[in-house]
Chains A and B, each alone.
Chain A
Amino acid sequence: MTAAMFIQHFLNSLTLGSLYALIAIGYTMVYGILRLINFAHGEIFMLGAYFVFYGLTLVNLPWPVAIVLSILVTAGLGILVDQVAYRPLRDAPRISALISAIGVSFFLQNVAIVFFQAIPREVYRPSWLEDPILISGVRVLPLTLFVPVLSFLLMMGLVYIVYRTKAGLGMRAISRDIETSYLMGVPVNRVIALTFGIGSALAAASGIMWALRYPQLQPIMGVIPGFKAFIAAVFGGIGSIQGAVIGGVALGFIEIMTVAFFPELAGYRDAFAFILLILILLVKPTGLLGAKPEDKV
C-alpha cells in the first residue's frame, strides 16, 4: 500500500468514524440517563437527512436554511418520540420501553417508506465538496476533511453544554441517580427532553453529512449505521460521551482499515461491528471508559 493510499484510507476512516461518533453520542446520552436503548435513533438519523434534501428540492430552500431547519425539526421529533412512546413507560420494566422503542423504529421507517417511497434517491452535492483537491500529491476529497472538522466542532459544543452549563449539570446528576435528582429540584423531565433534543440534533447532523458522503437516501439507511453506532457506544463505555467518540472513531478505523488491508474480507464488513460487540461484552462489558453498574437486589 502506498503512502497516498494510506492517507486516503485514513481520512475515510476518520470521516466514517466521526459520523458514527455523532450518532453514538445520542445513544450514550439517552442510555446514561434512562437506561434505554433508543432503537429509533437510527431512524431519526435517516429523517434528518431526508428533511434537508426535501427542503432543498421541494421548497427550494437555500442550503444553510435547509440544514438548520432540518436539525431543529429532527430535534423536535426526537423530543416528541420520547414524550409519546417512552415517557409513559418510565416506571414500567425496562424491556417495555425497549419494545416500544423497537416499535417506534419500525413505525418511523415505514412512515418514511409511505412518504418518501422505498426507492433510493440520488443526493445532489455541491461541486466544491465533491471535486478532489491535491494536497502535496495526494488526491483528497474535501468532504473527508470537512466532515471530521465539523463533527469535532459539534462535539466540542456538546462537551461545553454537558460540563459547563446548568442543564448539563442536570444531565450528569440524572445519570448518577434519577430519584435524588428529583429531590434536589432538578427539572428532570425538561432535562430528559433536552437530552433527546440534543441527541437527535447530532444524529440529524450526522445524517446530513452521511448523505453527502455516501450520496443516496433510502428509508432503511438508518438501520445499519444506527446499530453500529450503538455498538460504538458500548465499545467506548455506554453512558460516557468521550467513550462514544472514541468508540465511534475506532469502529470507523476498524471497518475501513480491515477491508483496506484484507480485501477478501470485504463481504463481511457489516459483521465486524457485531463481532466487536460480542467480544467487548465478553471481555469488558462496561466498555473502555464505562463505570461498572451495580446489581441492586
Chain B
Amino acid sequence: MKTSTKISLNLAVVAALGLFLLWAQGALDGYKIQILNLIAVNIILAMSLNLIYGFTGMFSLGHAGFMAIGAYVCSIMIMSPEQKEMLFILDAAYPWVQNAHAPFLVATIAGGLVAAAAAALIGLPLLRLGDDYLGIATLGFAEIIRVIANNIPRVTNGALGFKGIPDYANLWWNFGWCVVTFYVIVRLVKCNTGNVFKAIRDNEIAAKAMGVNVFGYKLLSFTIGAFFAGVGGALLASLLTTIDPKMFLFTLTFNVLMIVVTGGLGSITGSILAGIGITALLEWLRFVENPIYFGDFELPGIPGMRMVVFSLALICIILFRREGLMGMREFSWQGARNLFSGKRRAS
C-alpha cells in the first residue's frame, strides 16, 4: 500500500474521531462524556506504560507517582492566585506556588516535563536493577512521592489536597493529547530507536553485547513514558477537579497495568482497545455496588465487589491468556485490506 494512501486513511480516522467528538459533545449527557474523557486519559496512561514495560521490558510500577507529579504541577499552574489564597487555609502557600499561573496547555506540558525530570533523576540509579526489583523500587518511588505530597502543605496543601481545579480538560483536550501521545509513541517504536527498545526487552545481555548503550536507551524510554504519565495525571486532575495524596495509591497503577496486560504487552492497538473496554467495564461494574431493585425486592449493593471482579479478571488473563487481547500484533491498513480481500499476510 502506498504511503500517501496510508496517510490519507490516518487523517480520515482523525477526522472521524473529530466528528464523533463533535456529535458526542452535543448528543451525550455529562456522565457519558465523563466516561469518554476517562477513556482518553486511560489510553494515554496505558500507552505510556506500554512504552516502558511492553516495548522496553522495564517492569515499572511507578505510574501513580508520575501522575501525581503531573497532576500537582498542572493544578498549581492553572488555579488562579486568588483561588489558591482561599485554598491554603492551614499554611499559606510559598510565593512561587501562589503566583504561578499559566494557560492549560503550558501547565500540562510543564506537568509532563517535571514528571519526566523526576523519572530521569530516579532512573539514573534505579534502571540498573532487574525486573522485579525495579518494580518494587519504582513502587517505592511512587509511595515516597505520596508521602512527600502529604508533608509539604505549603506546596500541595497536605492531606486536604486541591478542590475546584478549573475543568479545562474537555473532550477536545483529552482526545487531542491522546492523538499526540499515540503519534509520538507509534513513531518512536517504529523507528530505529524502537527496534533498540525491543532488542533490550527481548534480551538485554545480547543487546549489550551488540554494542547498544542499554542504559541510555532505557533511560530514554522511561523518561518519555513518564512524560506522558505526567500529562495523563495533569488531564485527570483537571477532569476530576479535585486531587489529594490518597488518590495516587497503588490502585491507580494497578488499573493502568491491568489495561496494558489485557491489551497485550507491546501492542499499542491492544492498549487502545483495552483502554476503551476496561474503562467502560469499570463504570458498568459500578452497578454491582449499588442496590438493585426487582419491583419491591431490593438486592443490596456490595461495596468492593467491583474490584473483586476486576482483580479476578486480571488473574484469569494472566493464567489463561498471558499475551492479552492482541499479543504483540498491531492493527495496520495493509493487514485490514488483506483481511477484507481474503489474502493471507505474507510475513
Contact = CB atoms under 8 A, between A and B. Distances in A.
Interface of A: 35-37, 85, 88-89, 92, 94-96, 98-100, 102-104, 106-107, 109-114, 117-118, 219, 223, 227, 230-231, 234, 267-268, 270-271, 273-275, 277-278, 281-282, 285, 295, 297
30 contacts: A85-B319, A94-B131, A98-B59, A98-B131, A100-B314, A102-B257, A103-B314, A109-B307, A110-B308, A111-B308, A113-B307, A114-B304, A114-B305, A114-B308, A117-B303, A118-B303, A227-B143, A230-B136, A267-B151, A268-B148, A270-B147, A271-B148, A273-B140, A274-B141, A275-B140, A277-B140, A281-B125, A281-B129, A282-B125, A297-B205
Interface string B14-39: 00000000000000000000000000
A95 B147 contact: no
A27 B122 CA distance: 25
Interface residues of B, number: 42
B304 A110 contact: yes
Nearest to A106: B311
B132 interface: yes
A249 B39 CA distance: 45
Given A274-B141, A278-B141, A102 B254 contact: yes
Contacts of A98: 59, 131-132, 135
Nearest to B206: A297
Contacts of A230: 136
Interface of B: 59, 122, 125-126, 129, 131-133, 135-137, 139-141, 143-144, 147-148, 150-151, 205-206, 250-251, 254, 257, 261, 302-308, 310-312, 314-315, 318-319, 322
Contact of B129 (A95, A102, A285, A297): A285
Contacts of B131: 94-95, 98
Contacts of B148: 268, 271
A271 B147 contact: yes
Nearest to A97: B318
A286 to B, nearest CB: 11
A121 to B, nearest CB: 15
A106 B250 CA distance: 10
Nearest to A115: B304
A271 B143 contact: yes
A68 B315 CA distance: 30
B96 to A, nearest CB: 22
Q: Which of B136, B261, B306 has the most CB of A within 10 A?
A: B136
A274 B311 contact: no
B237 to A, nearest CB: 22
Contacts of A268: 147-148, 151
